[in-house]
Amino acid sequence: MNLLHGAAKLSPMAQELITWNPINNKKYETLSYLPALSDDSIAREIDYMIKKEWIPCLEFDEVGHVHRENSRMPGYYDGRYWTMWKLPMFGCNDSSQVLNEIHECKKAYPNAYIRCLAFDNKHQGQCMSFIIQKPNTTATSTPPPKPFNIWVSVGETSLCCTVMSFICFLLCYAPKMDGLLLGLLVETCY
């Protein structure tokens, strides 16, 4: 199965090395590589938090990742902090209380990323975090831009690689090639 654009042009061995498609497929924190969690699974995670005497908290955000929108200054990024849903649930002793808040948050913000956090008030820090909801972006998302890749031909072998990996290739192997024909064809890999 070809997971990346242009993977059909790769050798079978190279195709086996591809593990997942990173385009429009961001992963977040703990448990994000798993399918969406059921209410029962979420309740078990929250029960674990409560057993450890951590404080559950919900946050949401429309974008869901760090980005630059309001400033181009170095070191400034939007999206570092998500909006908190109500206050942290101090004194919470039942996962059903948190699940009720999760359902309310989902109703209020159906197209937002929602995550559950656990705070340890003894150590003054966040101990755990996992995504509860990712918005369904498949119907409305724009297609990803065509990746800019380079075809490298050395003798009889051709390989499609990204610009950065090609630079690494040149730095590491080009001095050792001693007269081998190095042909380049710059194109988009599809």
pTM over 0.85, yes/no: no
Q: What is the pLDDT of residue 119?
A: 95
Q: What are the per-10-residue average pLDDT scores of the chain (190 residues)? A: 50 67 67 82 95 95 71 65 89 95 95 93 91 67 48 62 58 54 44
Cα–Cα distance, 42 to 87 (Å, whole number): 19
Q: Domains in the chain, start-ordered, CATH in brackets?
A: 7-23+144-188 (no CATH), 39-133 (3.30.190.10)
Cα–Cα distance, 39 to 126 (Å, whole number): 22
Contact 153, 185 (CB under 8 A): yes
**116: burial class by Cβ within 10 Å (0-12, 13-18, 19+)?**
buried
Contact 169, 154 (CB under 8 A): no
CA angle 118, 120, 124 (to 5 degrees): 125
